[in-house]
């Protein structure tokens, strides 16, 4: 299970026994298993292969929720969203990408929309206006 606990995740954490190589391989293999479109694969690979952040250390998963369909905090839609925010590219475009990637990973449009709405409201009410 993910290293996050419940609503609003009670802190950054990782499941026991995770390692970078296994998690990287799991994400790459998900492309074929879930028939992830090439443009979405490119977005995920950009986050994984970037020298602007350390995805294994800096990704904290989906902050407001735990994703029961992914065994660790490295759920690719959330990983990419964390990358965008961690590298200073958070905001509207990042939230739209988050929605698209969730749908590519098989999340229903309603659920993906609710999560999109959550990050967008957070952005417009708090993060956009912070220093």
CA 77 – CA 111 distance, rounded (Å): 13
Band (pLDDT 50/70/90 cuts) for residue 68 is low
Per-residue pLDDT reduced to its tens digit, 87-105: 988 888 988 999 999 999 9
Output the pLDDT for position 118.
Answer: 82
pTM over 0.85: no
Output the pLDDT for position 11.
Answer: 44
Band (pLDDT 50/70/90 cuts) for residue 85 is confident
Band (pLDDT 50/70/90 cuts) for residue 67 is low
For 9-76, the DSSP string reads TSS----TT--HHHHHHHHHHHHHHTT--HHHHHHHHHHHH-SSS-HHHH----TT---TTSSSS--H
Average pLDDT, the chain: 81
- As a whole number, mean pLDDT of residues 39-51 equals 97
Q: Which residue has the higher pLDDT, 6 or 108?
A: 108
- As a whole number, mean pLDDT of residues 122-127 equals 73
Output the pLDDT for position 18.
Answer: 76
Per-residue pLDDT reduced to its tens digit, 3-35: 443 334 444 444 556 789 999 999 999 999 999
For residue 105, which of 120, 115, 90 has the smallest C-alpha distance?
115
């Amino acid at each position: 299970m993910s290293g996050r606990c419940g609503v609003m995740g009670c802190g950054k954490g990782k499941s026991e026994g995770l390692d970078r190589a296994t998690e990287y391989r799991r994400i790459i293999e998900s492309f074929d298993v879930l028939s992830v479109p090439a443009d979405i694969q490119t977005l995920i690979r950009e986050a994984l292969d970037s020298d602007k952040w350390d995805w294994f250390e800096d990704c904290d998963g989906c902050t407001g929720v735990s994703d029961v369909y992914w065994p660790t905090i490295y759920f690719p839609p959330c990983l990419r969203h964390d990358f965008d925010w961690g590298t200073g590219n958070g905001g509207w475009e990042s939230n739209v990408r988050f929605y698209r990637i969730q749908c590519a990973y098989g999340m229903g449009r309603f659920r993906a929309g609710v999560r999109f709405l959550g990050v967008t409201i957070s952005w417009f009410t708090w993060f956009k206006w912070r220093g």
